[in-house]
A and B are shown apart, each in its own frame.
Chain A
Amino acid sequence: MEARLNVNGKAVKVEFAPEELLLDTLRNHGFTEVKSGCKEGECGACIVLLNGKPINSCLTFTAAVLEEDKLLTVKGIGNLHEPHVIQQAFVDIGAVQCGFCTPGIVLASYALLKNNPRPSDEEVKKAMDGNLCRCTGYVKIVEAVKLAAERLQKK
């Protein structure tokens, strides 16, 4: 099948099998920042934002994503030269260890802060209930999101 996906604000032509998952389609078309950890919707490494909402791309058929849907990967919110406030906060707090879970967690945090600019610790943790991290124990991740919230408020 062929389709046009809107990824990070750009139209991308994709070719895919009817039963193909969005995770594989994105990775096959160069969006390797979307990671594959479990393929069962538990680890959140494959999270992308679909119209602003975090979803597991490993549980999403590419064929079910329409041209008018807007997809955002972690590269769509910031990059090496102009990192997003959230990405910078993760760096500053030391919330990145192996980094494999980081794109998914950054996106989950991004979606949270768009809807709830001043979340409590509990609300931050709840927003990440679909992200597994085995390295950090989550403590610094929660701190980083709170710091990002603070910094975004100041802007």
Chain B
Amino acid sequence: MKNINWYYPVSLSETSSLLEKESVVIHGGGTNLSGRDLSSVEGIICLKHLGLDSVKLNDETIEIGATSTYADVVKALPPEHILVKCLKNAANTPCRNKITLGGSIAFVPTWSDLIAALLALDAKLILAGKNQGELSLEDYLAKKDLYKKNLITAVKFKNIPHRSAHYRDAKTVNDMALFSVTVLLELDADVITSAKAYIVGTKELITRLPEVEAYLQGKAKADIDEKVIEDLVNVEIIGSRITDPDYMSLKAKIQTARTIISALEGD
């Protein structure tokens, strides 16, 4: 078995040149990498010296370094923030101490609790390397292959008042979600001015629900008919642990409607 070289770059430019090498992978938290077959890996780039682990909050923006862990984010942001709601039960405590935002964006599984929240926040990624600069998360996910040699250094999004809710369909509290529903609402008085709704774990992996979002526009809680929302949700839930796909589709409808009501009700 070939010997794997470990690299500990101290600057972004050093990291970028390392990324140009053949068969290198990035080590963020390591929880995903440690379970993988490394027989074709020649180099591992450890990001610990780069100082990318801070969470910066101001009135306008929130910027989270890519090696911030789920635990870091849950601690740094207010409890009603959508990211806190999504991440606090994502994986167990020791895993939340290691899973990084950067790692979870670079690899999005069907059980991701993170990705929908970031999309709902219109998050932008800050990349270092060949195509460095800012890029919307949506664009990144659509053209991932283009950015294989880039390093995500941070995620940023606007610090807007919002209400949110996150539902994860799982067998135990910290089980990997079979699917999840993420809802972010902006309101004026109690009327919805903007709605973002996603289901993760579908055939497309991430499914945005534009018809549901359109339905919610301008409505208050009393105006919402859960049945209408249910009828607007038609997704296929996939994944190796799904034993009854038709049931899951039905559940996705019901839980989407409920998650929206939950978001409206606030904490």
Report B-chain residues with C-beta under 8 Å of the C-beta of A145: none
- Chain A contact residues, majority secondary structure: mixed
Q: Quick check: B93 and A129 within 8 Å, CB to CB?
A: yes
Q: Quick check: B27 and A64 within 8 Å, CB to CB?
A: yes
Report A-chain residues with C-beta under 8 Å of the C-beta of B98: 55-56, 59-60
Segment with Cβ contacts to A, from B30-38, B178-186, B231-239: B30-38
Chain B CB within 8 A of A86 CB: no
Q: Quick check: B3 and A18 within 8 Å, CB to CB?
A: yes
In angstroms, Cα B188 to Cα A127, docked, is 37
Chain B CB within 8 A of A117 CB: no
A54-B33 contact given A63-B6, A64-B48, CB 8 Å threshold: no
Q: Bits for B1-34, please: 1 = Cβ < 8 Å to A, else 0.
A: 0011110100000000000000000010011011
Report B-chain residues with C-beta under 8 Å of the C-beta of A40: 35
Q: How many residues of A contact B (CB 8 A)?
A: 27
Report A-chain residues with C-beta under 8 Å of the C-beta of B33: 61
Q: How many residues of B contact A (CB 8 A)?
A: 24
Chain B CB within 8 A of A82 CB: no
For residue A133, give the distance in angstroms from its CB to the closest CB of chain B: 13
In angstroms, Cα B89 to Cα A126, docked, is 9
> How many residue-residue contacts, CB under 8 A, span A and B?
70
Report B-chain residues with C-beta under 8 Å of the C-beta of A128: 93
Chain A CB within 8 A of B92 CB: yes
Q: Quick check: B6 and A18 within 8 Å, CB to CB?
A: yes
In angstroms, Cα B45 to Cα A18, docked, is 12
In angstroms, Cα B8 to Cα A127, docked, is 32
Q: Quick check: A54 and B97 within 8 Å, CB to CB?
A: yes
Report B-chain residues with C-beta under 8 Å of the C-beta of A50: 97
Please report which residues of chain A, range 9-26, place their CB below 8 angstroms from some CB of chain B when the two chains form the complex.
18-19, 21
Measuring CB to CB, which residues of chain A are less than 8 angstroms from any residue of chain B?
1, 18-19, 21, 40-42, 44, 47, 50, 53-56, 58-61, 63-64, 66, 108, 126-130
Q: Which 4 A-B pairs have the closest CB atoms?
A: A130-B92, A18-B4, A130-B94, A53-B97
Given contacts A54-B97, A59-B35, A61-B34, 5 further A-B contacts (CB under 8 A): A41-B95, A54-B94, A56-B94, A61-B33, A127-B93
